């Protein structure tokens, strides 16, 4: 379980992430078999796919121990424990590597089963946290890939080959997700590639009241993320914003967010130092299911060591971004949908 490890002087807390639930092999195999019955492509008929997952839930094909665990997350203190790590879960095995030039199109051709997507949808339905998509991201796909693409290898997007600096997902978008759910699909342990997290509370504890007051002011600017702006929907210029949001969330993208005054810029330099001093690294393996509460933590992709450049190009995580409720976002959705953001 995520925990606090106190130093000798009790002044500094070090956060660690440990697995909170591990499927037995029998539980995993039984759930894998149930999820394998989802035959409709979520990339072509999303609503019909979700209906198939609902039927699996209705038929009680899910290990009760897992259902009971998921139910405990409703009362979780997201500030203290903003990451959940689940091990040995079901996923699609033996999927061939995708084309580095066009990995999304390649996935459509090569991936014939939808176990990971069903697992993501199943979890969202159990938690009551619907997944959403964006028209500018993979043509509105709800299920997105953290998978390198040659043309975007040097960007700060989920298609990057190497590091992605600390960020909150869609930090300055008009529809910001409350959760990010991830299923590990492929990772070569000779490549030390980590998803690193920092709790918001560990950040704010290192700023005084005057600094926090400035961070609450709209004296910062973050361009729309690299992946969002390549779509057909033109978003215009991103608004000025505070770094410290009303709910204590951290609206920030390292090396992209900039201060609009000298004082604001100086605070961002301190923020970067704090983030790197407080980070906790997680190596996501195949079958890992990871939950990130997007308003309570900030994360990064860190490439510490590359032992095989070719398998680095094949590292793969499938993710969704989810909200606690779609009601407050409906006016941003494409007409006739309850999941697709028009931007």
Give residue 171's pLDDT. Answer: 80
Residue 329 domain-assigned?
Answer: yes
Q: What is the pLDDT of residues 305-320, one digit of tens each?
A: 999 999 999 999 999 9
Residue 10 domain-assigned?
Answer: no
Residue 8 domain-assigned?
Answer: no
Residue 284 domain-assigned?
Answer: yes
Q: What is the pLDDT along the chain (343 residues), one digit of tens a residue?
A: 444 333 333 334 578 999 999 999 999 999 999 999 999 999 999 999 999 999 999 999 999 999 999 999 999 999 999 999 999 999 999 999 999 999 999 999 999 999 999 999 999 999 999 999 999 888 899 999 999 999 999 999 999 999 999 999 988 788 999 999 999 999 999 999 999 999 999 999 999 999 999 999 999 999 876 555 455 555 567 789 999 998 899 999 999 999 999 999 999 999 999 999 999 999 999 999 999 999 999 999 999 999 999 999 999 999 999 999 999 999 999 999 999 999 8
Q: Are 295 and 249 in contact (CB under 8 A)?
A: yes
**Residue 44's CB: how many other CB atoms inside 10 A?**
9
Torsion, Cα 157 101 342 74, to 10 degrees, reads -50
Q: What is the count of structural domains for the chain?
A: 1
Distance of CA 186 to the CA centre of its chain: 16
Distance of CA 69 to the CA centre of its chain: 20
What are φ and ψ of residue 241, in 5° steps? -155, 160
Q: Are 38 and 31 in contact (CB under 8 A)?
A: no
DSSP classification of residue 331:
G
Contacts of 173 (CB under 8 A, 6+ apart): 134, 224, 225, 228, 343
Place of tokens 């790197």: 276
Beta strands 21-22 and 83-87: pairing type?
parallel
Q: Are 307 and 188 in contact (CB under 8 A)?
A: yes
Residue 193 domain-assigned?
Answer: yes
Beta strands 280-282 and 192-199: pairing type?
antiparallel
What are φ and ψ of residue 220, in 5° steps? -140, 155
Beta bridge mates, 221: 240, 258
Query: How far is residue 335's CA from residue 317's CA, in Å, rounded to a whole number?
Result: 30
Is 167 known to sit in a ligand binding site?
A: yes
Residue 13 domain-assigned?
Answer: no
Identify the CA nearest to 275 among candidates 176, 207, 220: 207
Q: Are 129 and 122 in contact (CB under 8 A)?
A: no
Query: How far is residue 317's CA from residue 292's CA, in Å, rounded to a whole number?
Result: 14
* Residues spanned by the domain of 191: 21-341
Identify the CA nearest to 178 among candidates 84, 78, 72, 89: 78
Query: CATH number for the domain including 206?
Result: 3.60.130.10
**Residue 330's CB: how many other CB atoms inside 10 A?**
10
Q: What is the pTM of this model?
A: 0.91
Q: Are 133 and 340 in contact (CB under 8 A)?
A: yes
Query: How far is residue 193's CA from residue 234's CA, in Å, rounded to a whole number?
Result: 33
Q: What is the pLDDT of residues 19-46, one digit of tens each?
A: 999 999 999 999 999 999 999 999 999 9
Beta strands 131-134 and 340-341: pairing type?
parallel
Residue 303 domain-assigned?
Answer: yes
Residue 246 domain-assigned?
Answer: yes
């Amino acid at each position: 379980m995520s925990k606090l490890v106190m130093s000798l002087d009790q002044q500094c807390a070090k956060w660690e992430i440990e697995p909170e639930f591990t499927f037995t092999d029998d539980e995993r195999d039984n759930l894998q078999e149930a999820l394998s019955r989802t035959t409709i492509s979520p990339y072509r008929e999303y609503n019909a796919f979700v209906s198939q997952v609902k039927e699996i839930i209705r038929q009680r094909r899910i290990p009760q121990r897992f259902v009971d665990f998921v139910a405990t997350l409703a009362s979780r203190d997201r500030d203290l424990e903003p990451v959940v790590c689940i091990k040995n879960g079901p996923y699609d095995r033996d999927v061939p590597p995708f084309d580095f030039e066009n990995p999304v199109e390649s996935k459509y051709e090569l991936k014939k089963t939808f176990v990971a997507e069903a697992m993501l949808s199943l979890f969202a339905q159990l938690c009551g946290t619907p997944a959403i998509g964006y028209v500018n991201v993979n043509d509105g796909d709800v299920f997105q890939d953290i998978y390198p693409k040659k043309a975007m290898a040097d960007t700060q997007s989920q298609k990057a080959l190497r590091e992605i600096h600390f960020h909150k997902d869609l930090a300055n978008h008009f529809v910001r997700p409350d959760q990010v759910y991830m299923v590990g699909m492929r990772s070569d342990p000779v490549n030390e590639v980590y998803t690193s997290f920092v709790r918001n509370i560990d950040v704010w504890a290192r700023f005084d009241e005057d600094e926090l007051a400035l961070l609450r002011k709209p004296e910062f600017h973050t361009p729309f993320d690299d992946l969002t702006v390549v779509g057909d929907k033109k978003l215009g210029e991103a608004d000025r914003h505070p770094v410290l949001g009303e709910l204590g969330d951290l609206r920030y993208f390292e090396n992209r967010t900039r201060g609009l005054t000298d004082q604001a810029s100086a605070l961002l330099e301190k923020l970067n130092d704090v983030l790197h001093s407080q980070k906790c690294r997680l190596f996501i393996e195949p079958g890992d299911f990871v939950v990130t509460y997007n308003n309570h933590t900030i994360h990064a992709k860190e490439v510490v060591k590359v032992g095989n450049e070719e398998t680095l190009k094949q590292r793969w995580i499938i993710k969704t971004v989810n909200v606690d409720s779609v009601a407050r976002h409906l006016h941003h959705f494409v007409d006739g949908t309850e999941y697709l953001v028009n931007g």
